[in-house]
Amino acid sequence: MENQATLLVDSGDLFFAPLSGGEPETKSAKAQIIGRAYRSMKAAAINVGDLDLLQGIDFLRKEYAQGLPLISANLLDASRKAPIFPPYVIKEVSGIRVAFLGLLSPDFRSDDTGTAIKKATEDKILIKDPTDAARGTVQKLKGRADVTVLLSDLGLQKDRLLAKSVPGIHFILGGHEGRYIHNPFHEGMTYIAQSSAKNMYVGQLRLILHAPGSPFRAEGEVQRIQEKINQLDSQLQNMQKAKAQSPGQNTENIDRALQEVTRQKNILREELKRAKDSAPGGNRFSYSLEPLEGSHPEDEEVREWMAEAGIDKD
């Protein structure tokens, strides 16, 4: 995008309250400082994750009222059956309309988490099926956004299933399971990235947009796919050599391995063709994960907030 326009977003579990340990007042003070810091950084959108619900829905409503840009397309008020926070936001940067929608999973990561969330939210919430919520929200965004980004607290497998079920999402940025995945991968025309846990890394997605609404391709994708194909070719040669050196022996296992590697190679060849067929001047993106620990100095203003609240560094 022109002028290096930047939007700061979070995929969920921003507050990540622990289930045990620590005084409630200290936990609340930490959460307030995190919210204050994100407001100070002028975050564009923050998805509500299941661990955020441990703070209680009243806390989240208060943070939203103070300017924290919380979103969720499937977190509903139990009495009104309506979204508690906006399902999506649309931000325009350099003339490009970028839509962010948020989703959380109705299946909590453990029974203990589910019990704690139920207690913290006092049965004030309902969580709608994520796929239905995504489908309806993406439909509303048609013609209103040039790029659609899902901030997901669903988990990687559910991200993949949703990408297959709901066309029209360009990127899914997730972090629910704390996975570290260096390069995004795609399901159909949707690219999926995961950004590790507890803000240990910051993911940076850079977009070059020439055809609003059209699919993206990764910078350097052709080279990466070709390198993977070359690696599989080397594996095939080694397996064929091993088979040739075992005359008269049972080579059933080698044959199965050859079939599997050949299958993987054929899939990559199709991906390579798709990447090469992409218009040279089309939409492109690059993605990187940068570790925060030790790479950036601590913010002095935030350190002052922590000192005022009597909080030491975790």
Q: Looking at residue 263, what is its pLDDT?
A: 92
Give how far Cα 137 sits from Cα of 84, 103, 233, 236, Å. Answer: 15, 11, 44, 46
Asked, for residue 213, whether it belongs to a domain, the answer is no
For residues 126 and 242, membership in a common domain is answered with no
According to the model, what pLDDT value does residue 2 have? 39
Q: CB of 265 within 8 A of CB of 229?
A: yes
The answer to whether 11 and 173 have CB atoms below 8 angstroms apart is yes
45 plus 83 within the same structural domain: yes
Q: Say yes or no: 123 and 28 in one domain.
A: yes
Rounded CA-CA distance 288/202 in Å is 8
Range of the domain at 238: 221-277
- pLDDT at residue 104 in the model: 96
For position 3, what pLDDT does the model report? 44
Taking the C-alpha atoms of residue 145 and residue 138, their distance in angstroms, rounded to an integer, is 10
pLDDT of residue 56: 92
Residue 195 to residues 11, 43, 95, 179, Cα–Cα distance (Å): 9, 17, 27, 7
Assess if residue 62 is contained within a domain.
yes
191 shares its domain with 144: yes
User: What is the number of domains present in the chain?
Assistant: 2
Confirm whether 124 is domain-assigned: yes
Low-confidence residues of the chain: pLDDT under 70: 1-4, 17-22, 197-199, 248, 277-281, 293-296, 313-314
The answer to whether position 288 is within a domain reads no
Note the pLDDT tens digit of each residue in 184-203.
Answer: 888 888 999 988 766 678 88
Residue 40 sits in the same domain as residue 152? yes
207 part of a folded domain: no
Q: Is residue 264 part of a domain?
A: yes
- Looking at the fold, whether 95 and 126 belong to one and the same domain comes out as yes
292 found inside a domain: no
Statement to judge: residues 44 and 171 lie in one domain:
yes
233, 143: one domain: no
User: What are the residues whose beta carbons fall under 8 Å from the beta carbon of 36, sequence distance 6 or more?
Assistant: 305
Q: Which of 153, 148, 128, 146 is nearest to 138 (CA)?
A: 148
Alpha helices in the chain (DSSP H): 24-40, 57-65, 111-121, 130-141, 156-165, 221-244, 252-277, 300-308
In-domain check, residue 304: yes
Based on the domain organization, do 85 and 190 belong to the same domain? yes
**Residue 174 sits in the same domain as residue 100:** yes
The gap from C-alpha 139 to its chain's centroid, in whole angstroms, comes to: 20
CATH code for position 81: 3.60.21.10
Q: What is the pLDDT of residue 87?
A: 98
Same domain, 234 and 193: no
**Same-domain check for residues 148 and 70:** yes
